[in-house]
């Protein structure tokens, strides 16, 4: 499996896109719909599956496409190939919502990266997109990432995207980090992913952190996101009067109840 | 044993470095990136299971600079190590193997339970449909006869207005006298009616009301033929088929609602198909039991057969496909009936002492 070595440049701070420079004959695969622009000489082709193994049987391709569907990606991937004979050409992929794009060189992390489903943005052609199925029931139910995660395999460069600011954290052997569920974006396979009850009923109910933490134990590298999309979406809906929302930021349980009613409407009126 | 794996430790990249690892009976030896060997006695090495889904074995130890970890993910190498472990690590490795298989077993149990939980409504539904007849029979048996009679009275009041009842004719007498023979010792008190209607039909209402159309009386050539139909209708009442149909219909609706969330579309179709199927079963039941009653009353069963034959001729070409019909196909009913008669053997028959020509004349 020959990997294409690609150069890239990231633009923007919170709403990023990545520009990839392709040498003649090189190709990049992108999540369907992620392409922002491409220069002359680059041809776009849509393929069934992820293009990591061109000689796969029809059945194998179908299986691969099915897996992609489960992980929340499209059935098809688009391949961008520099078909010219000289010079470098550029193609850019944009993140679908505010957040950060993180380049991960797969050989640097041992060749395999487990990431949040739907977080794949683009990669060098040859990177395989698969599923990492969460076999721990508790983690799947309460870990915030669900049962299906994405597995990127290969020895090229891959770009993942998640909400808010992305934070790369290296865990030493045995070091643990407790993380809010839903904030994990990616990790090496050597990292143990578990859940832990917050410990006190009072905290479980009123701390706002939910019933469980995700617990990550090293060795290995993990990437965390500061603002999962669902959380931001939730806040936007809560704040959108057209959708029936009317939320004062940082509202408590009581505040939430009160502002829902007529009384709250009078007390909290800001129109 | 030799393998390459990701190694984490002081001076190595934080995301690990893929190094050659050698395990002999006493030492674990690494070849560091600068080709320097690092050897550590196995007595200092701890084995732990971790990583995503507990697929990774970690060989860990500490030295002056910090903590090291060799992570082994390859399942084949793990099995090879389990088969021939270095003596010093034998216990720890087999414990690691046990922990991994425990994780796998737990996953299987957990997902099995989860699957079962989601499949439960569907299984319940299947069990319910499977035993529908005995369940509805039990439910119906819990309804007191008084309630059933009240229900029948309501239905009768609603129906009565649409019927043109014939009263005080020879036909009324004939129907009542044959009916009395067929309902001896019944817990219901029966009422017999004749309605002017040219279709060959008769019907029963819960609680003991039977209505015979004049068309049926005219089409029947002997009183035995009428008796055959009455025996059938009486069994609908005796077996409380309408109550059971209600129980069945409500039960299926509830069960389908549980499985499909709301009762609409496909669920509705499934429910009506199951009701029709129940109705066909009830007809067959009434046929079989009706025959038994004819035997008990010493009435010739051939009358019932002939009536069905007449019915079959009348409705030829009008029958919907079997699955969509409330009654079984007439040909099938006749065949069943003939088999049942043959099985029961012949019984002494007393001809019904009724002046049939006069009865027919009275409703013309």
Contact B52 A192 (CB under 8 A): yes
Q: Which segment of A45-54, A82-91, B98-107, B135-144 scores lowest on mean pLDDT?
A: A45-54
Q: What number of CA atoms fall less than 13 Å from residue B101's CA on the CB side?
A: 8
pLDDT at B319: 59
What contacts A211, CB < 8 A, 6 or more positions away?
Answer: A142, A197, A198, A204
pLDDT at B41: 93
Contact A219 B69 (CB under 8 A): yes
Interhelix angle B241-260/B223-238, nearest 10 degrees: 50
Q: Which segment of A14-18, B128-132, B150-154, B186-190 scores lowest on mean pLDDT?
A: B128-132
Q: Does A108 touch chain B (CB under 8 A)?
A: yes
Contact B269, B210 (CB under 8 A): no
- Tell me, rounded to whole angstroms, the distance of Cα A148 from its chain centroid: 12
Q: Which residue among B6, B67, B104 places its CB closest to the CB of A172?
A: B67
Q: Identify the helix (H) or strand (E) that includes residue B84.
A: none
Percent of chain B beyond pLDDT 70? 95
pLDDT in tens, B258-279: 777 665 666 677 777 777 777 8
If pLDDT is split at 50, 70 and 90, which confidence band does B61 have?
very high
pLDDT at A72: 66
Q: Which residue among A136, A191, A219 places its CB closest to the CB of B107?
A: A136
pLDDT at A105: 93
Q: Which segment of A150-154, A175-179, B296-300, B309-313 scores lowest on mean pLDDT?
A: B309-313
- Higher per-residue pLDDT: B39 or B251: B39
Contact A190 B6 (CB under 8 A): yes
C-alpha to C-alpha distance for B221 and B173, rounded to whole angstroms: 17
pLDDT in tens, B216-243: 898 888 999 889 889 988 898 888 888 8
Percent of chain B beyond pLDDT 90? 24
By C-alpha distance, the chain A residue nearest B111 is A137
pLDDT at A267: 43
Q: Does A193 touch chain B (CB under 8 A)?
A: yes
If pLDDT is split at 50, 70 and 90, which confidence band does B68 have?
very high
Contact A80, A42 (CB under 8 A): yes
C-alpha to C-alpha distance for B318 and B330, rounded to whole angstroms: 11
Exposure class string for B75-100: b at 16+ Cβ within 10 A, else e: eebbeebeeebbebbeebbeebbebb
Given a cut of 60, whether residue B128 has pLDDT beyond it is yes
Contacts by residues B285-290 (CB-CB < 8 Å, ≥ 24 positions apart) = B285/B235, B285/B239, B285/B241, B286/B232, B286/B233, B286/B235, B286/B236, B286/B239, B286/B241, B287/B232, B287/B333, B287/B336, B287/B337, B287/B340, B288/B336, B288/B340, B289/B235, B289/B238, B289/B239, B290/B228, B290/B231, B290/B232, B290/B234, B290/B235
Overall pTM surpassing 0.80 (yes/no): no
Given a cut of 60, whether residue B364 has pLDDT beyond it is yes
Q: Is B34 exposed, middle or buried (0-12, 13-18, 19+ CB in 10 A)?
A: exposed
Contact A188 B9 (CB under 8 A): no
- Higher per-residue pLDDT: B329 or A222: A222
Q: Once rounded to an integer, what is the mean pLDDT over residues B289-306?
A: 87
pLDDT at B342: 87
Contact B53 A172 (CB under 8 A): no
Q: Does B54 touch chain A (CB under 8 A)?
A: yes
pLDDT at B44: 92
pLDDT in tens, B21-52: 999 889 999 999 999 999 999 999 999 999 98
Q: Is the dihedral of CA B71, B74, B79, B85 positive or negative?
A: negative
User: How many other C-beta atoms lie within 10 A of the C-beta of residue A37?
Assistant: 12
pLDDT at A268: 40
pLDDT tens digits in sequence order for chain A, 271 residues long: 455 667 899 999 889 999 999 999 889 998 888 999 999 999 999 887 676 665 567 777 777 777 777 766 667 788 999 998 888 999 999 999 999 999 999 999 999 999 998 899 999 988 888 888 888 888 988 888 888 898 999 988 999 999 999 999 999 998 999 999 889 999 999 999 999 988 778 877 787 777 888 999 989 999 999 999 988 998 888 888 887 765 444 444 444 444 444 444 444 433 3
pLDDT at A217: 93
Q: Once rounded to an integer, what is the mean pLDDT over residues B130-159?
A: 83
Does the predicted interface ipTM exceed a cut of 0.85?
Answer: no
pLDDT at A250: 43
pLDDT at B317: 62
Q: Does B192 touch chain A (CB under 8 A)?
A: no
What contacts B276, CB < 8 A, 6 or more positions away?
Answer: B323, B324, B325, B326
Contact A224, A170 (CB under 8 A): no
């Amino acid at each position: 499996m020959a990997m294409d070595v690609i150069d890239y440049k990231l633009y923007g701070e919170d709403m990023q896109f990545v520009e990839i420079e392709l040498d003649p004959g090189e190709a990049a695969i992108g999540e369907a719909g992620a392409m922002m622009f491409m220069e002359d000489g680059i041809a776009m082709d849509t393929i069934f599956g992820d293009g990591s193994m061109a000689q796969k049987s029809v059945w194998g391709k179908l299986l691969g496409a099915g897996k992609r569907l489960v992980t929340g990606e499209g059935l098809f991937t688009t391949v961008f190939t520099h078909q010219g004979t000289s010079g470098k050409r550029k193609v850019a992929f944009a993140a679908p919502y505010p957040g950060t794009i993180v380049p991960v060189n797969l050989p640097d992390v041992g060749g395999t990266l487990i990431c949040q489903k739907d977080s794949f943005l683009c990669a060098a052609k040859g990177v395989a997109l698969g599923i990492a199925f969460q076999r721990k029931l508790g983690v799947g139910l309460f870990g915030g990432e669900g049962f299906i995660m994405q597995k990127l395999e290969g020895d090229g460069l891959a770009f993942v995207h998640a909400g808010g600011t992305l934070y790369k954290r290296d865990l030493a052997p045995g070091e643990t980090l407790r993380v809010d569920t839903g904030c994990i974006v990616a990790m090496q396979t050597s990292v143990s992913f578990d859940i832990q009850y917050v410990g006190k009923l009072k905290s479980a109910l009123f701390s706002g952190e939910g019933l469980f933490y995700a617990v990550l134990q090293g060795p290995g590298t993990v990437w965390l996101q500061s603002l999962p999309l669902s959380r931001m979406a939730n806040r936007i809906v809560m704040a959108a009067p057209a959708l029936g929302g009317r939320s004062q930021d940082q509202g408590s349980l009581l505040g939430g109840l009160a502002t829902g009613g007529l009384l709250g409407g009078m007390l909290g009126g800001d129109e | 044993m030799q393998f390459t794996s990701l190694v984490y430790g002081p001076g190595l990249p934080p995301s690990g470095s893929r190094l050659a690892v050698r395990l002999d009976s006493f030492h674990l030896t690494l070849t560091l990136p600068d080709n320097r060997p690092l050897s550590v006695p196995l007595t200092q090495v701890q084995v732990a299971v971790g990583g995503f889904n507990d697929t990774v074995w970690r060989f860990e130890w500490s030295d002056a600079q910090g903590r090291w970890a060799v992570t082994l993910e390859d399942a084949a190498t793990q099995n090879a190590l389990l088969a021939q472990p270095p003596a010093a690590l034998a216990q720890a490795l087999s414990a690691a193997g046990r922990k991994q298989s425990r994780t796998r077993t737990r996953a299987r149990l957990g997902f099995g339970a989860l699957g079962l939980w989601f499949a439960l409504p569907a299984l319940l539904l299947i069990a319910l449909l499977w035993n529908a007849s005995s369940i509805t029979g039990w439910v119906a048996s819990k309804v007191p006869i008084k309630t059933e009679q009240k229900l029948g009275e309501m239905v009768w009041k609603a129906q009565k207005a649409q019927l043109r009842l014939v009263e005080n004719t020879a036909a009324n007498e004939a129907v009542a006298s044959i009916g009395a023979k067929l309902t001896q010792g019944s817990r219901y008190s029966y009422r017999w009616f004749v309605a002017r209607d040219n279709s060959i039909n008769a019907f029963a209402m819960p609680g003991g009301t039977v209505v015979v159309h004049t068309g049926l009386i005219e089409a029947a050539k002997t009183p035995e033929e009428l008796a055959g139909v009455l025996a059938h209708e009486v069994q609908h009442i005796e077996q409380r088929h309408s109550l059971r149909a209600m129980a069945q219909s409500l039960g299926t609706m509830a069960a389908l609602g549980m499985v499909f969330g709301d009762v609409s579309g496909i669920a509705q179709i499934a429910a009506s198909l199951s009701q029709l199927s129940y109705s066909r079963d009830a007809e067959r039941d009434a046929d079989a039991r009706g025959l038994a009653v004819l035997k008990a009353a010493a009435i010739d069963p051939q009358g019932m057969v002939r009536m069905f034959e007449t019915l079959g001729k009348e409705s030829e070409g009008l029958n919907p496909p079997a699955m969509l019909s409330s009654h079984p196909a007439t040909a099938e009913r006749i065949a069943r009936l003939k088999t049942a008669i043959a099985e029961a053997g012949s019984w002494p028959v007393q001809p019904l002492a009724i002046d049939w020509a006069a009865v027919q004349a009275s409703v013309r």
